[in-house]
Structure 1
Amino acid sequence: MPEPTAHIPATRDEELLCCLGPGFPALAGSDPDRVARIRDEVASGFAALTDVAHAVSIFGSARTPPDHPYYRLARTLATRLGTLSFDIITGGGPGIMEAANRGARDAGVRSIGLGIELPQEQSTNAFVDLSLQFRYFFVRKLMFIRYASAFVVFPGGFGTLDELFEALTLIQTEKIRHFPVVLAGSEHWSGLHRWIRAQLLEPGMVSAGDVELLVLADDPDEIVEIVERSRHRQLETYHPPGS
């Protein structure tokens, strides 16, 4: 039987995760530097986005071509939201992200792209006005959530699902304020919605209120109305510090 091949970490972060322990004191001792990088990444993100008052984070597949109906819907929706003074935040890549940034550019509002360092380099699309690059996914997701008045989630892969369920978990556990989470493209998302109801709601693993956090919609007018209605509620319930 051949000897098993040793796993070679592909990145510095993976190397740190694989090799933590007493046998690797040099790597274990690098934790303070890692913490400092995380702190700096959070601080620089906050500084760059500090004047973003109302924005919508739009997610979806990087592989959606420009002639796809979802691409056109994302661009139209972002333009409509932009006319209501919502800035648009995406992951800054191609596909749905490009469509949303393009719509923001059409409307003349800030078109923000929060990129991520990956082994396979993904270039920032040409319609991003403010581009930030992150090393850590969790810091990047913090920025998506901190500055969003709503999430609009188009069909996408694992990354899109990660961002969707992170927001749902934080809202469900009241770690963040309740904002709309809209699933754009009911034909795509209806299967997931049925599965959640059948496999999570019926056995009592989530509540009816948890399921209601998700809104399926196809019409840009409906999505805009949901987002705008939520903004008015947020303004009505906001109390300045010391009031």
Structure 2
Amino acid sequence: MTDDTDRGTWDPFPSSRLDQEQQAKMPSTRQTRSPTYKLAFDDDEFLTSAPMRAVRLQLELMKAENGLAEAGILSTIVLFGGARIPEPGKAAWAGRTPEQKARLEANSHYYDAARQFSRLASLHSAASHGGKEFVIVTGGGPGVMEAGNRGAADVGGVSVALNIVLPHEQAPNPYATPELCFRFHYFAVRKMHFLLRAKAMAIFPGGFGTLDEMFEALTLIQTKRMARIPVILFGKEFWNRVLNLEVLAEEGTIAPDDLKLIQFADTAEEGWDIIRAFYGF
């Protein structure tokens, strides 16, 4: 990350970093120890105060944007899915009922499908776009998110992780590219970054978070506040049990053509073929 001395143009003013260093050398007096004497950008108590929320929102938006821009990431494929879906044979069943255990075991094949889909996308990205287009981005956590970052790592590709602060700490999975691993306080800013460079969405079975992210994107596309991109739901049987969007069309609360915003795939290859057909490569 650059600072304000690295802009490449003449700047007659001292850097903020230099001001920080000078402040650390100030004699300790009642005045210099006062919180009011701290530089505003170097005052954690001030920056985390309630009146500064708007500034913190902007900082979160800009930090990830700067990092992605510096890495040259031009476009992404967003991979959503449940944190609780395990790698086959490696689930932790504490607190699960026998029925939940059976269902999660049955759904663990989606981990492998997400991993394979990420491999296909990352191979295309490296071969055709120098690893700068169609880059996999996930929420950075376990389960399907881990599978997405892992698939990119399998073939030597980069991938983005957009982690979120949660009450039960979510550590980034070990497969995300470290230089593209970000952490957010605000869900809203995180969701913006999921979509700002998105050229496709691959949505695997998940819970409330996955549904929230999916419906926000569909709403933006439906209302033409976002460009039309492929929105692919993996596991038609799963999604047909969870969603009955045809009812919305029958009741007139969405247009019948809105159902066409979603496509289904049951394998990684089917999902990737949808993206290939959409973009003509």
State how far apart, in whole Å, the 2-side matches of 1:230 and 1:189 are. Answer: 22
Per the TM alignment, residue 44 of structure 1 is displaced from its structure 2 partner at its CA by 0.9
Could you tell me which residue of structure 2 aligns to residue 60 of structure 1?
A: 81
Alignment of 1:3-152 (within 5 A): 32-50=51-69, 51-67=72-88, 68-85=108-125, 86-129=134-177, 130-152=180-202
State how far apart, in whole Å, the 2-side matches of 1:31 and 1:126 are. Answer: 34
Residue identity over aligned pairs, in percent, reads 42
Alignment of 1:138-217 (within 5 A): 138-193=188-243, 195-198=244-247, 200-217=248-265
- Which digits, 9 at most, give the CA deviation of each residue in 1:220-240, with x for residues without a partner? 22211211233349xxxxxxx
Per the TM alignment, residue 179 of structure 1 is displaced from its structure 2 partner at its CA by 0.5
SS in 1 for 2:214: helix
Q: Is the 8 A contact 1:149 1:230 kept in 2?
A: no
SS in 2 for 1:197: helix
State how far apart, in whole Å, the 2-side matches of 1:71 and 1:217 are. Answer: 14
- Which digits, 9 at most, give the CA deviation of each residue in 1:71-116, with x for residues without a partner? 0000011001111103110000000000010001112221111000
- Which digits, 9 at most, give the CA deviation of each residue in 1:102-157, with x for residues without a partner? 00111222111100011110111000112100110010000101111111110101
Per the TM alignment, residue 61 of structure 1 is displaced from its structure 2 partner at its CA by 0.6
State how far apart, in whole Å, the 1-side matches of 2:74 and 2:170 are. Answer: 28
In the alignment, structure 2 segments of 5+ residues that lack a partner are: 1-48, 89-107, 126-133
In the alignment, structure 1 segments of 5+ residues that lack a partner are: 1-29, 234-243
State how far apart, in whole Å, the 2-side matches of 1:53 and 1:231 are. Answer: 15
RMSD: 1.4
Could you tell me which residue of structure 2 aligns to residue 6 of structure 1?
A: none
State how far apart, in whole Å, the 2-side matches of 1:41 and 1:54 are. Answer: 19
Q: Is the 8 A contact 1:149 1:231 kept in 2?
A: no
Q: In structure 2, give the amino acid aligned to 1:75.
A: R
State how far apart, in whole Å, the 1-side matches of 2:194 and 2:142 are. Answer: 17
- Count of residue pairs the alignment pairs up: 202
Could you tell me which residue of structure 2 aligns to residue 239 of structure 1?
A: none
Q: State the TM-score, normalizing by the size of structure 1.
A: 0.80
SS in 2 for 1:133: strand
State how far apart, in whole Å, the 2-side matches of 1:163 and 1:138 are. Answer: 10
Per the TM alignment, residue 31 of structure 1 is displaced from its structure 2 partner at its CA by 5.0
Moved beyond 3 Å, runs of 4+: none
State how far apart, in whole Å, the 2-side matches of 1:228 and 1:114 are. Answer: 25
State how far apart, in whole Å, the 1-side matches of 2:214 and 2:79 are. Answer: 10
Q: Which has the larger radius of gyration?
A: 2
